[in-house]
Structure 1
Amino acid sequence: MLSDALKKTIRQTHQHIADNLEGYHPRTSQNYLVAEIAKTLAGEYHKSQRICVIEAGTGTGKSLAYCLSALPLALAKKKKLIISTATVALQEQLIEKELPFFKEHSGLDFKFDLVKGRQRYVCVQKLNAALNEDMVQVSMLPTLSSPLSDMEQKCLRDLQSAYQNKKWQGDRDSWADTIPDKVWNIIACDKHACQRQMKSHHLCPFHLARQKMAQMDVLVINHALLLADLELGGGKILPELDESFYVIDEAHHLPHITRDFSSAAATIKGTIDWLDKLLKFSGKMANVIVSQKAIGQNFKLNDAANDANKDLRVVRDILDKADFNYNDDDTFRFEHGVVPESLTDKAKDISDATLDALRALSKMHDALTLDVSDGDVKPYLADPLLTESGLYINRLEQLNKLWFSYASKGESTPHARWIKRLEYKHHHDHLLCDCPIEVGYYLKDKLWQECAGAVLCSATLSAMGTFDHFSKESGLRNEPGVKYIKANSPFDYPNQATLHLPVTEKDPTDKTFSDYLASILPTYLNKEAANLVLFASYWQMDHVVKILRANHWKILVQGEQSRDSLLKAHKSHIDSGKGSVLFGTQSLSEGLDLPGHYLENLIITKIPFAVPTSPIEEAQAEFVQSKGGNPFLSITVPDAAKKLVQSCGRLLRKESDSGRITVLDRRLVTKRYGKAMLDTLPPFKRQID
């Protein structure tokens, strides 16, 4: 329960911020959010399940709301506050602007930091080794296919000099210039080679950052790092789950990122090749390890890798002879995720063999790590071996994950499984893929039932007027105590914007719609103002661009230059008093901030329906149908409704903004689902011709 003292702290904090925030004025919706988040995390709605799901419209000030409520509560309860985002832009906003302001003016004493995955940090030992000519050549790394160029070697020297002179802290993002992937892959920290208990690594930037993390009250992370911690059991990278309050900002991304994180893939012939290389490498590694146990583990590793290779060759022959009906994209999907018995039998054997190989190699890796710590093996000899064994461990983990799933029968969680045929100049291969269709159970078991409390927020979490779709995707459906909240935007929508649905002669399903679009678009573009036109596909956008440019229209097109330079050019045109026409696809409908006169005319060419062409989407639709559902109404329409809200959300970014939205898709009026979509949009002034 919220104590009177805590209520007083929250009120005082709110007042401090109000007094120091320029242009601040009380917002009913923001005050409502502050109260509801505080009540939820304090356990007023449910004693153990302290979770709220918040849809907060643009301009609500949700980040300030969760800081005002969750932070005082976390400090009082001695919990960590972990804020997870999906985009770098929001992380930067929190770290560089909002949290520093909050710390300075809230009256609360707290420390905060950005937490990154270890692959964003340099391993100093690897950096020094890469420039040490006497050391074992880094070219033994499987990731380095050719020697470094002069430019790449200069980059290494510059990095080392800057780090030694304390001009660089050792994380990739703070380096002013671009670090080539080839260079970074050699020197990046990894969990297998760069271990804190080894003297040569305990001062590496990643380990220093993790030590610093223990002193922090607020940690800003991304969803990928959150999932990496959950996969390890929770509390391994980040603080313990039951000692942490989580704010999942941009929460609408979480289910899809979880699904991608839970997938696995591996080739057949490619795997056979690297398993052969592993056999040679393990002997080299065993010769360096002092412990006699390494010899026994090396024998076990060899036996297991040979068994896996033998079975993979059988699978290779099965797939070469199989009469699968591959589509135009050289992909074949197993209906309902059911794999033929000829493959499942071998999958069980490969799963067992790869697990045995993984255990043996991990023990060899740990033995060599111990030898270095004890001073029995020199770091310059061990580091390249530990780096390479770490790469093989990661590959074995992925391989085992794939084949364990392919061997599963009668599973409760549906999976999409498919094969992609790969054609090379002199040979071919098969890529086997696996992905769970539903991941809600994973988030429920690993996160929601373990954490001290959680706030999930976004501008688009509901679809068609309910939270049902998101609650199912995220594992919160039917969970007791979960509070669902909608906070309305403070915008005066009817007076700030008009939503126009003109009469159109062609439907978006018509084959000639793209040509028709090119002919009518000039009618709705304003050459004197800032225009954004959003397309549902790159193909259609490119088609229209060619026609309009042939008629002398100057257009900025997504994909023709970087996003930053595209937006700079757009803003430059507007600042110089010219108009600007910016064309983009769905990815520009989210996270694009063009306030005021930088966007006054938004055109949406069609409802952003996803075409279920990927094996995962096809499997999802198949699963819904098998349960008697309608995949179009239960998946496609809710997803499109959320995307449409996001697209319309580009126009108004501040309470002083104004403009016009034109949607060239009459299905919003003529179809029953279209009218439901229309009702989920903000209450713009409507002009329906």
Structure 2
Amino acid sequence: MDTRYIDADYLSHFLKTGGSLDSQFDYFEQRDSQIALLEKVTSAFNNKQVAVLEAGTGVGKSFAYLLPALAWVKKNDERVVISTGTINLQQQLFEKDIPQAQKLMGLSVKALLLKGRQNYLCKRRLHDLLQEKDLFSEEIEEIDVLVDWANETKTGDKSHIPFMLREGLWQRVQSESDACLGIKCPFYESCFVMKLRKEANESQILVVNHHLLFADIETRLNGLPFDENGVLPAYTSLIFDEAHGIEDAATSFFSSSLNRFTVLKQLSLLARSRKNAHTGLLFSLDVLSNSPEYLQECLVKMQDIKTALTHFETEALELMEKDYAFRFTAGTAFRLRSFLEAVANLHRAFHSFFTSFRALIQGIDEEDKSLPAVWEGKQIYKRLEYIAEVCESFLDWDQQEDYVFWMEKRRLSFAQNKNELFSKEDGQSYPIIHKTPLSIAKTMNTGVFSQFETVICTSATLQTSSGFSFWLQRNGGQYLSKERLICAAFPSNFNYRENAVLAIPTDMPLPDSPLFQASVEKNVLKLLQASEGRALVLFTSFESLRSTASYLRDNSHLLTYPLLVQGEADRFNLLKQFKEKKDSILLATTSFWEGVDVPGDSLSHVIIVKLPFAVPNEPVFAARSEAIEKQGRSSFAELSLPGAIIAFRQGFGRLMRRNTDRGIITVLDRRLLAKSYGRLFLTSLPETRQLFCPMEDLVFEIKSFLK
């Protein structure tokens, strides 16, 4: 079918004075930058281009890409996928922006929100749990309530559960590709995930997150044609919102990891004991098999895997000693012998088990091999085989230059933050080994830019002092021809000059000073008093955050505002409390530098403790830095500095969320003024009032401005 072009003039009319958006509001102000952005998106659809478009906060980028996307799918009977970095934005697009855009245009296009499958109930896993309900006596009441909900829900979506459910229970009933029997499942016809996939086939706009998108792209890179249905139905165009996070999302998705829980989860599906009862798939297979002697052999060899796993963990923790992480390099290779022997031992234990497990299954009559239990057994076998392959890849790590091999320690408890790293002394550590791609640029080119007709990448923070070159280099844009690529920036329409102040105290010690942390604690207290709470304090390390939180609590008689600390509640509840308690203070680190949307008086002061440079010895960052240095280039200029500028701009962007917002951004890191690169951070920001003076004067000015 010939391409039917969409008209930018026609589409922009909806967003102009006198258009249908104007008619919906008593007070409407046309946003020229929004219209210019819409025109670029329209051009990218018509010319089948890759568009990298930075749109400042307040531009209204959602409508600027939704109107062309809706017009395109309607005219050309195609499908567009919109991928975001957060569930919050997914829900806003699906529940608010897309319906409103359709109403503006007078169009009806079927749209669907798709989350990762772990957000949906698996009916078979719930059924299996009910068979063992007596083993979970302390949870019987909660299980019964969950069953009642499962019988009523139309979607199976966890976010629709109207009561608090403990995470451990949900994990036992959530849908997982690891546990899916597909067409062999007795609940296949009523499966929530399968219903969604059917609905997705009938939808022209799909709203997904980056992780789900990359799951689909992986199946296509592994051989599934791009014009066939994979994890998602086939699509021709793709919009990345929150595109500043693509590299991290792709790096995470295309990494392989292994820890004890990955292994034990699969083994527990095969055999587990609780209250002297033995259950699991092996016992079902044993009943079917004509070779029952292999059951005991499997159980013994599963124990061998667990023993090898314990040895593997001991050696991994020994390698890391007091560090939180360890990277495999030519310089550390001499220390790896004992660990690699433990990995080889674990690999052998897996393959010894596979021999017995295959024999048990081969003893099942042909007519019984189509039974769900056998199918599930084969699925578990495949997953354990993949885990064994991850083990094997570590044995020749030095032959794989495109990957970073490393390990880290994590907390065993959920008491702090589930992703918090820590030292061995806790006695609660467990290791995770990782194989991470050194770069995702080629994957983005072969899996995204070369395959889809139109790709739109947009965010409020894509540029650094060198324009878009950093983002393009990291995400595969260097492979695109000049004709195929559009890059453009559309400034925010917010009045930062009148409503925002950038404050830097000139008498702070530099961050490398031993006096810095004590000065942070003392001055954060003064700054919070000046703004009467209403503040988000952004740290770059948990250690600094915890020390500051402790200091503020020790001086609670001087600071009476509610104090919320990351790690003491989950992200959702922290943000909920922060919005509801108008004078509250939120202390947070990395994940809160972006995606926090708190308009109004609840957030009038953002305090940035240190410039968000990546930790130099973080394994993946260190490996990427070395790769740049080996080519005779500067990793500071090409990786560290631009990455910090993007993150800094994200942190700065937490303050102004609506055009009526006003407040202060205080940066306690004097490198902005003392180092030559500081001006690159400053010039990356919108034009604001600037206040560079000693702390006492700054506190006085903050009080005056906020009053």
Query: Could you say what secondary structure the match of 1:397 adopts?
Result: helix
In the alignment, which of 549, 557, 569 is matched to residue 564 of structure 2?
557
Query: Could you say what secondary structure the match of 1:661 adopts?
Result: strand
Per the alignment, residue 471 of structure 1 pairs with 472
Query: Could you say what secondary structure the match of 1:672 adopts?
Result: coil
Deviation at 1:286, TM superposition (A): 5.1
**Residues 630-669 of structure 1 mapped to structure 2, 5 A cutoff:** 630-669=634-673
Moved more, 404-413 or 582-591: 404-413
Summarize the Cα distance change of 1:351–1:684 in structure 2 as closer, same or farther, 3 Å threshold.
same
Does the 8 Å contact 1:54/1:457 carry over to 2? yes
Per the alignment, residue 254 of structure 1 pairs with 246
In the alignment, which of 18, 23, 35 is matched to residue 21 of structure 2?
18
Per the alignment, residue 149 of structure 1 pairs with 137
In the alignment, which of 232, 254, 260 is matched to residue 238 of structure 1?
232
Inter-partner Cα distance in structure 1 for 2:251 and 2:616: 16
Does the 8 Å contact 1:416/1:619 carry over to 2? no
Q: Aligned AA for 2:171?
A: N
| Cα deviation digits, residues 199-232 of structure 1 (max 9, x gap) | 5422111111211111111111111111211222
Deviation at 1:38, TM superposition (A): 1.2
Inter-partner Cα distance in structure 1 for 2:504 and 2:343: 54
In the alignment, which of 172, 190, 201 is matched to residue 214 of structure 1?
201
Percent identity, aligned pairs only, is: 25
Give TM-score scaled by structure 2 length. Answer: 0.79
Deviation at 1:163, TM superposition (A): 3.2
Does the 8 Å contact 2:286/2:360 carry over to 1? no
Does the 8 Å contact 2:4/2:76 carry over to 1? no
Inter-partner Cα distance in structure 1 for 2:440 and 2:687: 34
**Residues 277-676 of structure 1 mapped to structure 2, 5 A cutoff:** 284=283, 287=286, 326-329=320-323, 331-335=325-329, 377=371, 382=373, 386-387=375-376, 390-404=379-393, 406-407=395-396, 410-411=399-400, 413-418=402-407, 432-480=433-481, 481-525=484-528, 526-528=530-532, 530-549=534-553, 550=555, 552-555=558-561, 556-559=563-566, 560-574=568-582, 579-676=583-680
Does the 8 Å contact 1:351/1:404 carry over to 2? no
Summarize the Cα distance change of 1:69–1:366 in structure 2 as closer, same or farther, 3 Å threshold.
farther
In the alignment, which of 161, 165, 175 is matched to residue 179 of structure 1?
165
Inter-partner Cα distance in structure 1 for 2:68 and 2:496: 28
Does the 8 Å contact 1:272/1:309 carry over to 2? no
Gaps (5+ residues) in structure 2? Answer: 273-279, 413-423, 694-707
Inter-partner Cα distance in structure 2 for 1:370 and 1:180: 42
Does the 8 Å contact 2:69/2:80 carry over to 1? yes
Query: Could you say what secondary structure the match of 1:169 adopts?
Result: coil
Summarize the Cα distance change of 1:155–1:270 in structure 2 as closer, same or farther, 3 Å threshold.
closer
Does the 8 Å contact 2:629/2:635 carry over to 1? yes
Inter-partner Cα distance in structure 2 for 1:428 and 1:656: 47
Does the 8 Å contact 1:199/1:373 carry over to 2? no
Summarize the Cα distance change of 1:523–1:154 in structure 2 as closer, same or farther, 3 Å threshold.
closer
Moved more, 178-187 or 466-475: 178-187
Does the 8 Å contact 2:271/2:281 carry over to 1? yes
Summarize the Cα distance change of 1:371–1:36 in structure 2 as closer, same or farther, 3 Å threshold.
farther
Q: Aligned AA for 1:488?
A: P
Query: Could you say what secondary structure the match of 1:611 adopts?
Result: coil
Summarize the Cα distance change of 1:159–1:519 in structure 2 as closer, same or farther, 3 Å threshold.
closer
Q: Aligned AA for 1:263?
A: S
Deviation at 1:107, TM superposition (A): 1.1
Per the alignment, residue 420 of structure 2 pairs with none
Inter-partner Cα distance in structure 1 for 2:169 and 2:376: 15
Summarize the Cα distance change of 1:568–1:116 in structure 2 as closer, same or farther, 3 Å threshold.
closer
**Residues 49-88 of structure 1 mapped to structure 2, 5 A cutoff:** 50-88=49-87
Query: Could you say what secondary structure the match of 2:188 adopts?
Result: coil
Query: Could you say what secondary structure the match of 1:52 adopts?
Result: strand
Does the 8 Å contact 1:254/1:474 carry over to 2? yes
Q: Aligned AA for 1:251?
A: A
Summarize the Cα distance change of 1:338–1:494 in structure 2 as closer, same or farther, 3 Å threshold.
same
Q: Aligned AA for 1:539?
A: E
Inter-partner Cα distance in structure 2 for 1:5 and 1:230: 27
Deviation at 1:394, TM superposition (A): 2.4
Summarize the Cα distance change of 1:406–1:420 in structure 2 as closer, same or farther, 3 Å threshold.
farther
Inter-partner Cα distance in structure 1 for 2:457 and 2:680: 25
Inter-partner Cα distance in structure 2 for 1:320 and 1:663: 42
Does the 8 Å contact 1:504/1:664 carry over to 2? no
| Cα deviation digits, residues 506-565 of structure 1 (max 9, x gap) | 112111112122333454442547333323323223333333442521242322444455
Deviation at 1:387, TM superposition (A): 4.8
Does the 8 Å contact 1:265/1:402 carry over to 2? no
Deviation at 1:680, TM superposition (A): 0.8
Summarize the Cα distance change of 1:321–1:610 in structure 2 as closer, same or farther, 3 Å threshold.
closer
Does the 8 Å contact 1:533/1:602 carry over to 2? yes
Inter-partner Cα distance in structure 2 for 1:426 and 1:659: 44
Per the alignment, residue 142 of structure 1 pairs with none
Deviation at 1:57, TM superposition (A): 0.6
Summarize the Cα distance change of 1:246–1:265 in structure 2 as closer, same or farther, 3 Å threshold.
same
Inter-partner Cα distance in structure 2 for 1:544 and 1:396: 46
Deviation at 1:625, TM superposition (A): 2.8
Per the alignment, residue 685 of structure 1 pairs with 689
Deviation at 1:456, TM superposition (A): 1.1
Deviation at 1:679, TM superposition (A): 1.0
Query: Could you say what secondary structure the match of 1:335 adopts?
Result: coil
Inter-partner Cα distance in structure 2 for 1:616 and 1:83: 28
Summarize the Cα distance change of 1:318–1:117 in structure 2 as closer, same or farther, 3 Å threshold.
closer
Deviation at 1:63, TM superposition (A): 0.8
Summarize the Cα distance change of 1:411–1:554 in structure 2 as closer, same or farther, 3 Å threshold.
same
Summarize the Cα distance change of 1:186–1:277 in structure 2 as closer, same or farther, 3 Å threshold.
closer
Does the 8 Å contact 1:227/1:258 carry over to 2? yes
Query: Could you say what secondary structure the match of 2:37 adopts?
Result: helix
Inter-partner Cα distance in structure 1 for 2:121 and 2:608: 44
Inter-partner Cα distance in structure 1 for 2:124 and 2:302: 36
Does the 8 Å contact 2:405/2:433 carry over to 1? no
Does the 8 Å contact 1:168/1:174 carry over to 2? no
Moved more, 28-37 or 556-565: 556-565
Per the alignment, residue 700 of structure 2 pairs with none
Q: CA RMSD in A?
A: 4.5
Inter-partner Cα distance in structure 2 for 1:564 and 1:322: 34
Number of residue pairs aligned between Structure 1 and Structure 2: 652
Summarize the Cα distance change of 1:387–1:506 in structure 2 as closer, same or farther, 3 Å threshold.
same
Q: Aligned AA for 1:601?
A: H
Per the alignment, residue 416 of structure 2 pairs with none
Inter-partner Cα distance in structure 2 for 1:642 and 1:73: 32
Does the 8 Å contact 2:301/2:352 carry over to 1? no
